[in-house]
Structure 1
Amino acid sequence: MHAYRFRVTSDENDEFLREIELLASNTFEDFHKTLVESCKFQGNELASFYMCDNQWRKRTEITLVDMNADEDGEANTGGTLIMRNIKLNQIINDPHQRFIYVYDFLNLYTVYIELMKIYQADITLPHPRVIKEVSEIVLPVVKSGIILEAEEEVYDDEGIKSQFGEEEDDDFMNEDEELFSDDSPLN
C-alpha cells in the first residue's frame, strides 16, 4: 500500500504549514476531515478541492456535497466528483500533484496542497495523520457566533495616530454642521 505525503501552505500566514500523510486508498473526504481538524475549522461549511496544474490554475473540482442532486436527493452528478466517492489514487497522476482546498465559500479560507512524496506506507500507523504542524491559519475572531472586526486606528493627514476616537470625531462634525446650518447666526 502506498502513502502520499502532502505539504499544505497558506497565503494568509507565511508561517502556516502542515504535512499530512494519507494512504492511496483514503478518500478526499478523509483528507477534508483531516484538514478541518488540523486547521481548527468548525466543520459545518461547504468545501472543495481543486486539482491544479503546475501553475496553480484550477482544473477539476472535487466537492463535499453534490449541489446538483434532484428534489428526491438522488444524485444528478453529470460529472460532479464527490469527496466521499473519490479515492486519492483515482485522481493523482502526477508525482507533484497540486490542489487548492477552499473551505467556507463565504470567507474563502484557502490552502495550497502539493504532493511531496509517494512511498511504501507503514500500515502499523494510523492514517490519515498529521506529520508536521507549524502555526495556525488566519481565522476571524468570533465571539458568540458573531464575527468581530479589528478595532480601526484613526490617523490624521500627516499619518500621526489620532488621540481621538471616532465618537469624538463625530462630535466635531456635528459642531461644524451647526455652524453652517440655516439657523446659524453666521448666515
Structure 2
Amino acid sequence: MAILKFRVYFEEDDSIYRDIIIKHIQSFLDFHETILKAFEFDNKHQATFFRSNDHWQKGREISLEVYADHSYKMAPLLMKDTSIGSEIKNTNQRFTYTYDFQKHWDFLIELINVSKDGDAGTEYPKITRTEGISPKQYGTKGLLGEKFADIEEKYDLSKSAEGFGEKGEDGEDVNYDEGGSEYADEQDL
C-alpha cells in the first residue's frame, strides 16, 4: 500500500504550509477534512479540489458535492467516491484546493514523496509538519478591541510619560520632555 506525502501551501504565503501523509486508497473527503484540521478551519462551507499541472492550471474537479449554484464544464468527481491514488498521474502531481467559495481560501498542494509501506502503528491521514501561523478563518479581533487601538494612536504609548525618568550613569535622575530631550528636575536645581 502506497503512502503519499503532500505539502499543502496557503496560496497567499508559501511560508505557511502543512505536510500531510495519506494512504493512496483513502478518499479526497479524508484529505479535505485533514486539510481543514491542519489549518484550524471549520467544516461548514463548500469545497473543491482540482487536479493541476506544473503551472497550477486547473484540470479535473473533485468536489465535496455537486453544487446547484456552480457551473461545470464536466460533471465533477465526488470527494467521498474518489481515492487519492486514482488521481495521481505523475510523481510530481499537483492539486489546487478551494474552501468557502465566498471567501476563497485557496491552497496549493504538491505530492512530495511516495513510500511503499506505511507505519503499522500510524493512523492515516496524518499531519506530519506545520510551518507558519494559520490564517484566521473568520478574521480576528484583538483582545483589547478597537477602543484600545484608538487610545494607542491618540496617545503615543511608546514614549515614557513626562515626570517619569530613568537613573543616569552617576545615579542621578534623568528626565525627558515630550521631545525626548533631557532636562533637570526642579529638586536638582
Tell me whether the two structures share a fold, i.e. TM-score over 0.5: yes
* Equivalent runs, 1:68-107 vs 2, <5 Å: 79-107=75-103
Cα distance in 1 for residues equivalent to 2:102 and 2:75: 24
Partner of 2:135: 138
| Alignment check: 8 A CA contact 2:64 2:78 kept | yes
* Equivalent runs, 1:1-187 vs 2, <5 Å: 1-67=1-67, 79-120=75-116, 121-139=118-136, 140-142=138-140
Cα distance in 1 for residues equivalent to 2:133 and 2:37: 12
Describe the SS at the equivalent of 1:17. Answer: strand
- How far has the Cα of 1:42 moved from its partner? 1.4
| Alignment check: 8 A CA contact 2:15 2:131 kept | yes
Cα distance in 1 for residues equivalent to 2:100 and 2:140: 15
What letter is aligned with 2:43?
Answer: G
Cα distance in 1 for residues equivalent to 2:14 and 2:89: 28
CA deviations 1:83-124 (Å, max 9, x no partner) are 000001111111110001000000000110000111122232
Q: After TM superposition, what 4+ stretches of structure 1 lie above 6 angstroms from structure 2? A: none
Larger Rg, first or second structure (1 or 2)? 2
Cα distance in 2 for residues equivalent to 1:11 and 1:28: 19
| Alignment check: 8 A CA contact 1:13 1:138 kept | no
Cα distance in 2 for residues equivalent to 1:142 and 1:61: 32
- How far has the Cα of 1:11 moved from its partner? 3.0
Cα distance in 2 for residues equivalent to 1:8 and 1:44: 20
Cα distance in 2 for residues equivalent to 1:103 and 1:135: 19
Q: Please, which moves more after superposition, 96-105 or 129-138?
A: 129-138
Describe the SS at the equivalent of 2:115. Answer: strand
CA deviations 1:35-56 (Å, max 9, x no partner) are 0111111110000001101110
Cα distance in 1 for residues equivalent to 2:49 and 2:132: 22
Cα distance in 2 for residues equivalent to 1:52 and 1:13: 19
RMSD: 2.5
| Alignment check: 8 A CA contact 2:60 2:76 kept | no
- How far has the Cα of 1:142 moved from its partner? 4.9
What letter is aligned with 2:119?
Answer: D
Cα distance in 1 for residues equivalent to 2:84 and 2:11: 24
Describe the SS at the equivalent of 2:15. Answer: coil
Q: Identity percentage over the alignment?
A: 27
TM-score normalised by length of structure 1? 0.68
Cα distance in 1 for residues equivalent to 2:23 and 2:62: 18
Cα distance in 2 for residues equivalent to 1:33 and 1:85: 14
Q: How many residues align?
A: 142
| Alignment check: 8 A CA contact 2:39 2:135 kept | no
Describe the SS at the equivalent of 1:37. Answer: helix
